Structure 1
């Protein structure tokens, strides 16, 4: 399952709300002073009233949506094994290995404090799994769909994995070529000579890319090379490139996974659509009249 940060951020407020509710229950006297500024007293009632006026509608709708997601999670019976798989995937995406590293990252980068990894799985990952499953519920991709998509988009789908050595001038490029001709590995020469900070430390490896992601001169060269071939110096606006083509993916079998994901993405609902569907199907009764205007129900289609 592919993760999107908006889904993580979209649930982060729910924990904050739980904390606020706990604190409110602990204070029964709303008239008590919470802070005094010179001769001005600010009471609990004023403070909570300001929060309600400023954030009330947003928090109200977040809580309604959270209740709907929790109900769906119970119906889906999402296993702990599934959540552990999603946790491992998420860790890989954000570049951490240990549970504590992840919790620290959430606090430092997103400002969200989570007590334990179990809380993270329950309050962050589980809602995301629910939304993803609902978004994918009506997606159907057939073999015929994939083959047709390949025929129509074959050139755009082709991808290459290459290394390059980027230098400032032709003389330096020829020096790099000479070192390669003398038997030095492409990775060593790239690490030593390349001025591309993004790839030099990886021996010039650029990973996989499709047509149009690189400058035109680079693209034209790469997609006309044979696997294992090393190019002559090629000039672009960034300098001179020596390119080694590692692999080309251009067959249906090699691209089938990418094709299926592209087609599923076309059909998949986004998070807003998922929540709209849940709210349309739910029985939501606002029993306090002063809150009726706060509920953001989906707009009816004309």
Structure 2
């Protein structure tokens, strides 16, 4: 199971902001240097640094401590480029992109994650995540019997289908599209010509794979999809969005087809929470706060998550 938890990356934002203000390593010498003047009022680099410190200092201090511990763990676990690259591939897949430039743009614009390069993304965000994933699953032990028992208990919930559809405004239009499909029109061509679902048009109408229970699809849509055989095309299905013509592309319902999903679920159930992993690492680490100003700043990970 490898699912990138982007929320972990977001927690590093404050650290990057303050570090950027001091990346010349000479903050004290530049503290009195004016950076802007407003109607005769001077603001210095020291003013900016103090404001950032007051606003983000405690959170950033804790994140820097945790990040240092995680980097040390990466060395101990011998986590290298291959593992981080796998995590990057997972992120690309989750976000539906193949191009690195597009990935960075999505992270910056949609998720407000301040990364300027893939190298920075890997080093500052994905490497800590790989460490946490490896440590959180270290004690997981799943047998074949465990997986088979889970399948028997949750077979209906686990069953999933992959489907594509054509969305039109009314039932009459849906019937006309079905007639064209029956006369030999390719489903992909009908999607491009008729479908009003702009998000799925580029995928040939494919809405992906979803389970029989716990999905986020329209209930009428999901019920109709699970009633279809693979390759079968539905009658018009009404939803809040209009009328759908649905075709099921694949159905996963046997143990062999669902084994990977079952193992993923069981692994997730047995894994430690990220904050628990970090808490244990902090308790094991020799953290010596040498400046009395910061004696009360160190927090446990769970309290940071609550902020």
Alignment-derived partner of residue 232 in structure 2: 229
**Per-residue CA distance 1:66-120 (angstroms, 9 max, x = gap):** 2211211121122223333333443444455455555565555536254x54444
Aligned ranges for residues 145-164 of structure 1 at < 5 Å?
145-164=146-165
Tell me the distance in 1 between the aligned counterparts of 2:35 and 2:220: 66
* Aligned position for 1:136: 137
Q: Where do 1:101-120 residues align within 5 Å?
A: 102=103, 106=107, 110=112, 112-114=114-116, 117-120=118-121
CA RMSD of aligned residues (A): 2.9
Q: Does 1:270 align with 2:270?
A: no
Conserved 8 A contact 2:13-2:113:
no
**Which residue does the alignment assign to 2:203?**
202
1:296 aligned to 291, 294, 299, which one?
299
Alignment partner of 1:238 out of 235, 241, 266? 241
1:100–1:191 CA distance, 2 compared to 1 (3 A):
closer
In 2, are the aligned partners of 1:11 and 1:127 still within 8 Å (CA)? no
Which secondary structure state, in structure 2, belongs to the residue aligned with residue 202 of structure 1?
coil
* Matched-pair contact (CA < 8 Å) for 2:61–2:298: yes
Question: Using a 3 Å threshold, how does the CA distance of structure 1 residues 247 and 117 change in structure 2: closer, same or farther?
Answer: closer
C-alpha change, 1:97 and 1:232, in structure 2 (3 Å) is closer
8 Å Cα contact 2:100/2:118 also seen in 1? yes
Structure 1 residues 292 and 244: CA distance shift in structure 2, 3 A: same
Q: Does 200-209 or 43-52 show the bigger shift?
A: 43-52
Contact 1:33–1:41 under 8 Å retained in 2: yes
Q: Is residue 169–residue 240 contact of structure 1 (8 Å, CA) maintained in 2?
A: yes
TM-score normalised to the size of structure 2?
0.83
TM-score by length of 1: 0.84
DSSP-derived class of the 2:238 partner: strand
* Structure 2: stretches of 5+ with no match in the other structure: none
Write the deviation string for residues 42-68 of structure 1: whole angstroms up to 9, x where unpaired: 455554433333322112212211221
Q: 1:251 aligns with which of 238, 254, 260?
A: 254
- Which entry has the higher C-alpha Rg, 1 or 2? 1
Residue 187 of structure 2 is aligned to residue 165 of structure 1: no
How much has 1:219 moved relative to structure 2? Answer: 2.7
Equivalent in the alignment of 2:86: 85
Cross-structure match for 1:127? 128
Cα 1:155–1:128 change in 2 (3 A) is same
Question: Structure 1 pair 105/134, CA: closer, same or farther in 2 (3 Å)?
Answer: same
Is 283-292 or 45-54 further displaced after alignment? 45-54
Which residue is equivalent to 1:28?
29
1:90-101 equivalences under 5 Å are: 90-97=91-98, 99=100
Cα deviations across residues 145-172 of structure 1 (Å, max 9, x unaligned)?
Answer: 2111111111111111222222222222
8 Å CA contact retained: 1:280, 1:297: no
DSSP-derived class of the 1:28 partner: helix
Distance 1:243 1:26, change over 3 A: closer
1:216 and 1:129, CA in 2 relative to 1: closer, same or farther beyond 3 A? closer
Structure 1 residues without counterparts, runs of 5 or longer: none
Task: Work out whether 1:215 is the aligned partner of 2:247.
Answer: no
Looking at structure 1, the residues matched to 76 and 219 of structure 2 have their Cα atoms a distance apart, in angstroms, of: 52
Taking a change above 3 Å as real, the CA distance of residues 45 and 256 of structure 1, as seen in their structure-2 partners, is same
